[in-house]
Structure 1
Amino acid sequence: MRLSLIAAGIILMSANAYANTNLGQQLSICAAKTDKTARLTCYDTLAANAKPSAHIMATASPVNSIAPEVATVPAAVSVVASPKALSVDDFGLQKKVIEDEVSKIYSEVVSVKKDALGAFIITLNNGQVWKQNSSKYYKIKKGQHIFIETGALNSFLLGSDDRNATTRVKRLK
């Protein structure tokens, strides 16, 4: 009895692994397309043809309002840039969205505070609040004109045009 359950589990896992490799091949075909509309159409077709897995169907409860076909869309396909243009007010708050419309903002520092570890927390004149992520010393004062630009791996760098140094920051508000 125990051995037959183990064998059935291995068969089910191998079938799921085969389905995942097939999906990976289809995703790589879609990713290779250079035309944006053709690539999006390819991803939409993949999402429409996705079948809900047995695990998703078994764990779906009547309380859960997410449809099974939405829940089975792979994470690589579900990340789509929003059609609205990103504004300066949303800069730094968007997660998993390509921020190619705004890559650098300029603002004036309204207030500077320090946290318990010595990292500064600044408030800009547009209402945004940023906190220093790096531990290196960076001098900043009230009224200073600064910029915040996008860095590698969805990070942000704070600096000013009058000096050649930047520090990593994270947006709080």
Structure 2
Amino acid sequence: MAKTARVAFYSLVFASLSAPVGAKDKDKDLATAPPAIFQGVLDCRSVADAAARLACFDKSVAVMADATAKKDLVVIDRATIRETKRGLFGISLPSIKIFGGNDDVEVNQIESTLTSARSSSDGLTVFLLADGSRWKQTEGRYTYPKPGQKIVVKRGALGGFLANVNDQPAVRVMRLAD
């Protein structure tokens, strides 16, 4: 009976390890394929007759405008992606392809101004940045930041973050929930 349980356990582990691989491939296809509504507009380019092509464009653009008005289709540009990723910097999120899998807009550091800094109950500093994000020092030397000073938060090794306040040596920090 123990052997049967082991076989069932290993089968379950193997199945769970195999599933994410297929899911990643599916996510990759979804991230690169344009939405059907947008593809409808692109397909109109191949219509040979000028009047039919114009009618196709009119129809598909009307469908696109309707979907946009209903928030079924959202159009964003690279600047919006960059600003959104900057605002999410330091927050652990599940792996979702909300930005179309476009990794060329990677945010590795943010630069801001301190709005305030206070000492937490454990004596380490909590920084409030001008963008509203809160960061807490996790280790390192004591810092004595003042509002208005420049702060740079960089992605560190192994998923950590480092902050330099007013060009002082870096301290390890973590992003706090807003």
CA contact (8 A) 1:111 1:142 kept: yes
Deviation (angstroms), 1:161: 6.0
CA drift of 1:90 comes to 1.3
RMSD: 3.5
Higher alpha-carbon Rg: 2
Unmatched runs of 5 consecutive residues or more in structure 1: 31-39, 46-83
Q: Secondary structure at 2:26's aligned position in 1?
A: helix
The 1-side partners of 2:132 and 2:167 are apart by 23
Matched residue count = 116
Match of 1:153 among 142, 155, 158: 158
Alignment partner of 1:116 out of 121, 125, 128 = 121
After superposition, the C-alpha distances for 1:10-40 in whole angstroms (9 at most, x for unaligned) are 44345556x46x949x95xx9xxxxxxxxx5
Instruction: Name structure 2 gaps, 5 residues minimum.
Output: 28-79, 96-102
Q: Deviations over 1:99-128 (max 9, x none)?
A: 962111111111111012210111111111
Percent of paired sites with the same residue: 25
Look up the SS of the partner of 1:93 in the other structure.
Answer: coil
Select the structure that is richer in helix. 2
Runs of 4 or more above 4 Å deviation: 14-17, 96-100
Distance of 1:15 and 1:88 partners within structure 2: 42
User: Are positions 1:169 and 2:165 aligned together?
Assistant: no
Describe how 1:9-158 pairs up with structure 2 within 5 A: 9-13=5-9, 15-16=11-12, 19=14, 23=18, 43-44=25-26, 85=81, 86-95=84-93, 101-158=106-163
Alpha-carbon distance between aligned partners in 1 of 2:114 and 2:124, rounded to the nearest angstrom: 15
Matched letter for residue 106 of structure 1: E
Cα distance between partner residues in 2 of 1:162 and 1:135: 15
